[in-house]
Structures are given as C-alpha cells and as structure tokens.
Amino acid sequence: MPKCSVYTFLFVLLFTSINSSAQTYKKTDLGIKTNINGIEIELQLYSPAIIRVLKSPAGNSFNKESLSVIKKPGKTTFNVQQQGDLLYLKTNKLLVSLNMKSGDISYFISGNLLLKEKDEGVKFTSFNDAGNNTYKVSQSFVLDNDEAIYGLGQQQGGKMVQRNLTLHMVQGNTDDYIPFFQSVKGFGVFWDNYSPTQFIDNTEGTSFTSDVGEGIDYYFMYGGNADGVVACMRDLSGQAPMFPLWTYGFWQSKERYKSQDELIDVVKQYRKLGVPIDGIIQDWQYWGNNYLWNAMEFLNVDFPDPQKMIIEAHNLNAHMIISIWNSFGPHTKQYRDLEKINALLDFTTWPQSGSEKWPPNRDYPSGVRVYDPYNPEARNIYWNYLRKMYSLGLDGWWMDSSEPDHLDFKPSDLDNKTYLGSFRKVRNAFPLMTVGGVYTHQRAVDSSKRVFILTRSAFAGQQRYGANTWSGDVTASWDALRNQISAGLNFSLTGIPYWNSDIGGFFLSKFPGKLKDPEYRELYVRWLQFGTFCPMMRSHGADAPREIYQFGQKGNKYYDAIEKFINLRYRFLPYIYSTAWDVTANQSSMMRALMMDFPKDKQALDINDQYLFGKSLLVSPVAKAMYIKPGTSGQRFIQEEDFSSIKSKETYLPAGANWFDFWTGEKLMGGTKVNKETPIDMIPLYVKAGSIIPFGPEVQFAEEKKWDNLEIRIYPGADGKFVLYEDDNDNYNYEKGIYSTISFSWDDKKRTLTISNRNGSFPVMLDSRKFNIVIVNTGKSVGENTVNEPDKVITYTGKKVAVKF
C-alpha cells in the first residue's frame, strides 16, 4: 500500500471511530437500538408496515409484555443506513429516520412525511407509584395543521375529527378510552399504556402523557387508508370472531324485568303481535338483595325456576342473555373465594347501599367490592361460578360496569394492589381483562356456541374476545342521540367493530312525562331507526318500559314506524351477516365513517351525523324533533304531536360515487347535498351505485326461514361486487373452513350479473335456490316492500351463472 494511502486509511478509520463513538447504534434482528442524550431507544419491526418504538432513561431499559398486543415481531427484511446525523431504517413499506442528535423519529412513505415526533418531545418524570419508583411518561408528535385524525375510543362530545381537544383518558360509564388515533393520511398510532392518560392536541403539538410507565411504548402503523390501518391494528391486537346470526336480530330489554313471568310475557307479546324479536335480556337483581350482589344465582323469589324460564324463551325461538357484573356483594360465595386470594379491590363502587331504595342509605353500606381481573386465579373463580349459569342454557352475557364503576374517587384508590401492580398502572385495561377472562374460559369448554358478550366498556384488543360494546347509561335527549353517531364511528376506527347504544337513551330525566311525552316518543322512534343500522339493535332503558306495545297499537304512527324498521332490519340480515364475515375475514368495519370510503372528499371528512353501514348503505339518522308543538297548559311534558306538515333533512352525498334513494329508487349525483322528506317512519337512506344487496324474507326471528328465495337488488351506474356468506349460524366450524361464499359481480357497461361458483360448504347448505334479480331504478317500487317484481329469476345450484340485462 502506498504511504499516502496508508495515512488516508488511518485518517478515515480514526474519523469513523470518533464519529461512531458519538453516534453509535446496534442493528438487531428486529431493528435497531441506540442511546441518545441519556435515552435508550429501540425500534422493533413487527411487519414492514408496523414499527414498535421503545424509549426509557439510560440504564432503565424495560421489556414489557403487552396486554393489548398479541402479535410477535416477525422476521422483516430491512436496511439501515446512516447519513450525517440521520439514521434511516427502511422496509419495503416504510422509511423511518432517527435523528442521532435529538432522538426524534420521523416516518415517510414514498418520500412524503407522514408523522414526526416533536423536537424534545419526550419526557420522563420520576414518580412514586404506590411505593414503586417509576416514571410519568410523555411523547409529543407534530401533525399538519389541517390533518384530520380519528379514534381515541368513544366520547360523548359529538366531534368527528379529534383535533383541538384535551381528553383525560380514564374509563367511565359513557366514555371508553383507547389511546389510538388514525390519520386521513393512512397511518395510525397506538400508545400502549394502561394508566390514566392525557391526550392533548393543540397548536403546540399532539401528545400522550401517562401517569405510570417504566418507559414509552408505542406502535406506528401504515395502512394506506382507514381500512388498512384498522387491519394493522387487528393484526397487532387480534381479529374479531363471528357472532351468531341471531345476535343481529332485534333485542328487547329494560331496567329490569322483575320476575321470570314478566320476562317471558314480553316475548309472548311480540309473538302475538307478529313483531320480530330474537333476544330478551334480564338485567340486575335476579340474585336478590344488594348484599348478594352478582351472586350469579337466581336467589330472587320471583325467579323460582330459571331453567324453565330459559327453556320457555328458547321454545318461543328467542335467545336470552343475562346481566353479570365485575363486583360482588359480601354475602356471595365469590366474594369469600376472592377475598382468600386477596383479589378484591378497595374503593367505592355501585351499589353504595345494601338497601334497594333511592337515594342510597349510607348508614347501611352494601360492602360490594370490585374483583381483580388481572389475576388469572381470580378470572378462574369468576368463570367457575358463571359456568353454572352457562349450564342452564343462557346464550350470552351482559357484562355491566366493566370499566368498572368507581364512585367517590380518591387518588389513593389507585394505589390498590392488583396482580400486575398498582391499579393506577393498569387502570384502563380493566374491561379488556375481565371480558377476556369470560371469552377464553367459555371457548375452552364449548365450541358449539359462539361467545357473545355485551359490555359497557372496552380497551384496545377487545375485538378478539367476542364482545359488543354499548355506549353506557346515556340520558335521553336529541343531543345524546346525535352524539352517539360520532361516538360509535370513532370507536370503530380504533379497530373494534362492534358497538351499539341503548335505543331511546337509558335515563328519561329530561322527559318528566316519559312515554306520555310526544317528544320522547318521537325521539325513541328516531333512535330506533338509527339502531336499525348499528351492529346490534337493542331497545333498553330505565324510568319507563320500551316494548313496542307501550307505544300504542297498529295504526298508531309511532307503533307503525317501530314495526316498519324492525322488519326492515330483518330483511337486511343477509347483507348484515355477510358484512360481519367481511369484518372477520378481511378486517373490515360495519359502521364506517365517511372518511373510510371517501378520504379524498374534504367535505366528507368531518361529518358527524352520517355514515355507511357496510360498504353500500349511507345512513343519515334524524336527530332533532320535527313533529311536536307546545301543549296548551304550557307544561313541557304535555306537548302535543303535530303531523300537519312533513319536515325534511339535508344529507351530503359524498363525491366519487353516485347514489340511489333507498325508498324511491331515484338516482342522485355524488358531491351534492340533497333534502329528503322525513315523516316519522322514514329517514334519509341511500345506496351507492354499483351495490349488490341481498334482501331476506320477512321473518319473526332470524333463523325462521332459509335464504332459498333471496331478492338480489342491483343498483346500476358502476361496477360492483358482493360476497354472500353463509354458515351454520352459530358454532366455530367456520374457523375450520366450514362455510360457503357466493360472489356476485355486476359489469355495468355490459349490464351483466355474474354469479360465481359457490366456494366451500357446510352441513345444512342449500343445494338449490332462487335468486330474484331486481335492477333498481326510479320507476320501480323499492324501499322496504316485501316483494318486488324481479327482472329475472335465476335457479342457482352452486355453478357459475352469467345473466345479461
């Protein structure tokens, strides 16, 4: 080697050594590790599109086992390259840059910046958590000024876009917090922390700050669009299993049926009236007094033969689920068993008195205590008692107070010790753990019946546990109804697809006249119309019963409107059940914010009172009173109904598609606002051009009739596809591939419908059936009518058929 070359080589070696000693990193099998400004930083690749970021003070690196994330990091091909102060990690999906001086991370796609951590946006503040020295942790990001983000769980504020707000994220009765947001730019961020957390978005940045954390732990994911982000989140935290077909029928409940005879009589009344119903729910106190709270036994004398009650319900072709709680009275067997293993938490919960009278008499405290679902042995005890109820033939569980109720809050309450540390450390994951405990235990003992859990709270990952979350004990009002829409949509955008609300609102305190108040009757009907297009259609509430016959009889406008929409729900069952399969098989969402399907339409990004139900139906609920006038006495609760003129609602039809009025078949242009007359028995409902929608028969319960004579409606104007899914309607055979799908394709230019070869099979599958094809247009009578004159009738035996129109 020439002398000059030797000196050059030594200089380069020395420079590289000095440079690398100041900005060193280690490449690992999963990504990279480094230490910058006293902070250890690790990037782990879970897939080419999902990156986990771990940060902790130097010397305090941590290895947390996530409660929400079940995916393990996979072997991902990536490259690492350093250019000056920037270290680049590149996959075939993403480019991530780490500033080796500041420690800030930025995320890019195709050279475009998606998200950047804020300069000096990391904070670790020493904190003593019930005797454990740990940290309060914070991470800030920088979003574009006009960037729309969504998610963060369910809140009641009526906001669609989650910008310019502060959220104190602690699970509550009507607020379900999930520290996850997704951007209209096609990425999502999951902050994997379970302690009380502040989410703040303002002009200074967007941040998560949690009370407890050994370090910062978050996931960045790129899906390209909202469906893709949801798919990433489910890839991380678990897929959503199928619910039975019967769960998509109509459900009736109230606070509470006080005897088994009363409960069964409700089902009998529906059958007598010929109004469809699939489920009845028994709320609390079937166990007796409050000292026996949640005993999971029928100790109330008015439920003398629960086995007979359940059999009677089943004989009436109805399913029954029952209220269970996450707390126990001091006289229950569960309380004694849980106390022995120190698995009862010590803070005030519901109910506060042993007496059932209201208000609570604090001289006689109930002694009810919340259990520790983080403890696996406690979850075993819970199921061991619940299993005895399951053996009676109950069809599902209504897990109330799953956040749980935390009354008379004191900061020291969070010092309670759980199996996983302080209650503060794991506070928000309570619903995930308790719902998961029931699901995993039931799955372990029985695969013949799908788990169905109705729960009042949720946390990230809960979709994997067969749970449908309802929005809590909301007070009935027009504002509350309107707020349910954005609450359910943002909840769905966190990756949890199943959500519903108490149709009519739980409390009627704003309506002193209760069902005598015409404004409340109108509100109930409008809420039920909204509930028709939710993943679960469930009437429930306190203060007044809500059964259809409480609203009059046939010929009464309210009664007829209720009956019309319950029947409409059942006609949509083939569409709904197939959409549910799309959720399970393809990570789709049932309730779809407009931004999911129309992200390029800026007018659609912040609409909080419309949504898609499935990928074809645009639903625009009516959320204001239209048909009341002041009563002659001036007292609010004797207002009078006024149907003298028909009112209307304006709806925005997103650009990028044309639309059909569901009720008339009229074709409308996208990117426009339209007014629709909205008599009490109608809401604006539109179908996207190119849609193929199967309509089922009129039935009294979901499985009454086979789908052997379906009406297939084609909404022309664009090419379209639809997959009709069918299986045994219950059990987990579908996980073994025991189901069938039939794909329908519409070629709009050729006006040809192609029905593919049937894929798959199951034991009770139809060998032959008729499809009644209806091409929708303005001249046809469509809407909810039972029978439309078909354009063609096709006999289908599972072999490919192409039909030209």
Q: Which active-site residues does the annotation give?
A: 400, 403, 473
Q: CA distances (Å), 647 to each of 162, 577, 660, in order? A: 32, 33, 20
Orientation angle between helical segments 557-571 and 518-532, nearest 10 degrees? 10
Count other C-beta atoms under 10 Å from residue 321's C-beta: 21
User: What is the phi/psi pair of residue 238, to 5°?
Assistant: 115, 145
Residue with tokens 């009341």: 628
The residues, ordered by sequence, that sit 6+ positions from 84 with a Cβ below 8 Å of its Cβ are none
Which one, of 509, 483, 472, lies nearest residue 624 by Cα? 483
Cα–Cα dist 376/462, whole Å: 17
Could you tell me whether strands 759-760 and 740-747 are parallel, antiparallel, or unpaired per DSSP bridges?
antiparallel
Cα–Cα dist 431/423, whole Å: 13
Contact 578, 723 (CB under 8 A): yes
Return the structure tokens found at 415. Answer: 């010092």
Could you tell me whether strands 205-210 and 132-142 are parallel, antiparallel, or unpaired per DSSP bridges?
antiparallel
Q: State the amino acid at position 56 in one-letter form.
A: S
790, 792, 795, 796: CA torsion to nearest 10? -100
Count other C-beta atoms under 10 Å from residue 82's C-beta: 14
Cα–Cα dist 678/622, whole Å: 8
Count the alpha carbons within 13 Å of 691 in the hemisphere toward its beta carbon: 27
- Coil vs helix vs strand at 188: strand
Return the structure tokens found at 141. Answer: 């990001």
Q: Supply the DSSP string of 133-161, one letter for each residue.
A: EEEEEEEEEE--TT--EEEEEE-SS--SS
Contact 613, 619 (CB under 8 A): yes
User: What is the phi/psi pair of residue 516, to 5°?
Assistant: -75, -15
Cα–Cα dist 643/645, whole Å: 5
Q: Supply the DSSP string of 74-130, one letter for each residue.
A: P----EEEEETTEEEEE-SS-EEEEETTT--EEEEETTEEEEEEEEEEEEEEEEEET
Which one, of 635, 608, 471, lies nearest residue 541 by Cα? 471
- Coil vs helix vs strand at 490: helix
Residue with tokens 């060193």: 24
